[in-house]
Structure 1
Amino acid sequence: MSYTIEERGNLHSLNYRLFYKNADGKYVSPFHDIPMYADEEQNIFHVVIEVPRWTNAKMEISTTEPLNPIKQDVKKGKVRYVANVFPHKGYIWNYGAIPQTWEDPAHKDPDTGCVGDNDPIDVCEIGTKVCSRGEVIKVKVLGILAMIDEGETDWKVIVINVDDPEAKDLNNISDVKRLKPGYLDATVDWFRRYKVPDGKPENQFAFNGEFKDKDFAIDTIKTTNKFWKALISQQSNPGELNCKNTTVSPEEDHCPFHCSADEAKAILNKVSLLMCVCVCVCVCVCVLDKWFYYERK
């Protein structure tokens, strides 16, 4: 299945949205409608790229809006950017999420002792290509890092695009350690320190910051898929999450989450009208060029 994207609004503004269409031209949710598996037998997963490598704009799947478009995160009325913390420039991998997964905020993980962060599971794609925002790629899983973000479990899955020339040599987290020495240490360092310029403390990690292997990572992904299935079948409380979808919930079951093609188009039309009255907030280039340095304790 192939997907195309449709951008609305102005990039780096409050009104920017990126919507998805499937091969049939039907609007779909990247959270709910894109399958988790690209090839279940081979454990190949889909990943939605939110942030291309080396960029700073904190883009994310909007879990609370209809059809869950990608938008830029907002804090205090301003779009958010990740700071350049020496020696890193922006995100150091292609960053995204695996669809049809959910880290349940009502579930305390037995390994981390913390509840989920209420988002799809995050992914760091470490291949050679810089992906495009909104791209849907097929990946194989290599390992996983358990970050603790303000008391919540925030898993970071390490993957590589199956089409990457290095993919044949990278099959587990041990291969990354061997063939890309220092990259995993840099990954932990990045996640530990990236919020410090915003006045927040360093993030912590379960397992003493050690990466777990491929099998552990796949089991974790499958667990978050079970949480998502409970969410989409109304067995879990969605809270503020928007579960509207056009392909998962059958219309004949009168599921409140089902969204017809006409309803999806109406959502897009409404978004377009709102954008006409939305004030653009453009980024100053100096924000992206600024570099933070601080000595680790």
Structure 2
Amino acid sequence: MSLLRMNTLISNSRSIGRLKETLRILSARNHRQFRTIQQGSEYTIGFKKYVILQNGEVGSFFHDIPLDLNEREKTVNMIVEVPRWTTGKFEISKELRFNPIIQDTKNGKLRFVNNIFPYHGYIHNYGAIPQTWEDPTMEHELGSDDVALKGDNDPLDCCEIGSDVLKMGSIKKVKVLGSLALIDDGELDWKIIVIDVNDPLSPKINSLENVEKHFPGILNATREWFRKYKVPAGKPLNKFAFREQYKDSNNTIQIIKDCHDSWRKLISGSLQNKYENLPNTERAGKGVTLEDSTEPPSQIPPDVEKWHYV
């Protein structure tokens, strides 16, 4: 290779590197246009965390945060609902106005995930991909070995595997790496595997093979955690579609696009007569504002810290 050709390649490589860094900075600045406010105390039924848009209005984590899909870079936005190693089952509310993050309840009691040895709480930064929706009004074909399943009526779930413990309510640009098709109570519940683009290892992680190399054991641990996490509550082991195999990043990008199309149908109002429990689709635009009324976190029930051997 000639010296001129080599210098040209080096120059182009540096230009691409500078461009990627510029895009990363612009992405971070774009996310700073959102902030959050809290009402009430964590680990109480009254707790709510709302997203506030740049103009001061209350927005919806579900509907007002853009998907921001970049197919070339394979990146999307993620809403962090649960920081890694914590146990509270926080999620974007489908029922409340503007879809704040709340703690899920069952029979009037707050829900926590059990600690399954050797893990404590959630083993990922767990969250949702905005402007996506797993459609419960139609059956999704899963291949010759699996029966068709309806969606679980939620945004797509995602599991961030990077090194940082992320903050609840934060909005992160993440790289899509693959996905696992969980069958949860007879519904299709995709788990999208992602990594924060600002994680130190992100430049080296572009596929499931890279994940296995740099995070050995995490994919198998993810599958086993989702298989077993409801067992301490008296439920059977969960199952998976596609012979328990992960889908690669290209297939996962298509899943995200399909669920974004489903979200568009949801907010169009065309499905109102097809399903009784559709999510609340109210969005910013009416000048609604709220004040922060944060209170100190409440105590987690002592039995939540118990180890379970499954």
TM-score with structure 1 length normalisation? 0.87
Cα distance between partner residues in 1 of 2:299 and 2:232: 18
Selected match of 1:202 from 230, 233, 237? 237
Greater CA radius of gyration, 1 or 2? 2
Give the 3-state SS of the residue equivalent to 2:159 in structure 1: strand
Q: How does 1:55-94 map to 2 (within 5 A)?
A: 55-94=86-125
Please point out which of 274, 286, 304 is paired with 1:260: 286
Q: Distance in 1 between matches of 2:220 and 2:302?
A: 28
**Would the alpha carbon gap of residues 231 and 14 (structure 1) be closer, same or farther in structure 2, given more than 3 Å must change?**
same
The whole-number CA distance in structure 1 between the counterparts of 2:230 and 2:139 is 24
Q: What corresponds to 1:169 in structure 2? A: 204
Shift in Å at residue 284 of structure 1? 4.1
Q: Determine whether 1:239 maps to 2:276.
A: yes
Which residue of structure 2 aligns with residue 101 of structure 1?
132
Decide whether the 8 Å contact of 1:127 with 1:161 is kept in 2.
yes
SS class of match (2:213):
helix
Contact 2:43–2:300 at 8 Å: present in 1 too? no
SS of residue matched to 1:245: coil
Quick one: distance in 2 between partners of 1:6 and 1:216? 36
Deviation (angstroms), 1:96 = 0.1
Matched, 1:292 2:272: no
Moved over 6 A (4+): none
Structure 1 Cα separation of the partners of residues 187 and 301 of structure 2: 33
TM-score, normalised to structure 2's length?
A: 0.83
Cα pair distance change 1:45/1:284, threshold 3 Å: closer
**Where do 5+ consecutive residues of structure 1 fail to align?**
247-258
**Matching residue of 2:49:** 18
What's the C-alpha RMSD, in Å, of the aligned pairs? 2.1
Cα offset for 1:179? 2.0
Pairwise CA distance, 1:18: 0.1
Q: Can you give the 5+ residue segments of structure 2 that lack an aligned partner in the other structure?
A: 1-29
Match of 2:16 in 1: none
| Deviation sequence 1:60-106 (CA, Å, 0-9, x none) | 00011100000000011111100001111100110000000000001
Q: Report deviation, 1:23.
A: 2.3
Q: Relative to structure 2, which stretch is displaced further, 173-182 or 54-63?
A: 173-182
Q: Tell me the CA shift for residue 281 of structure 1.
A: 11
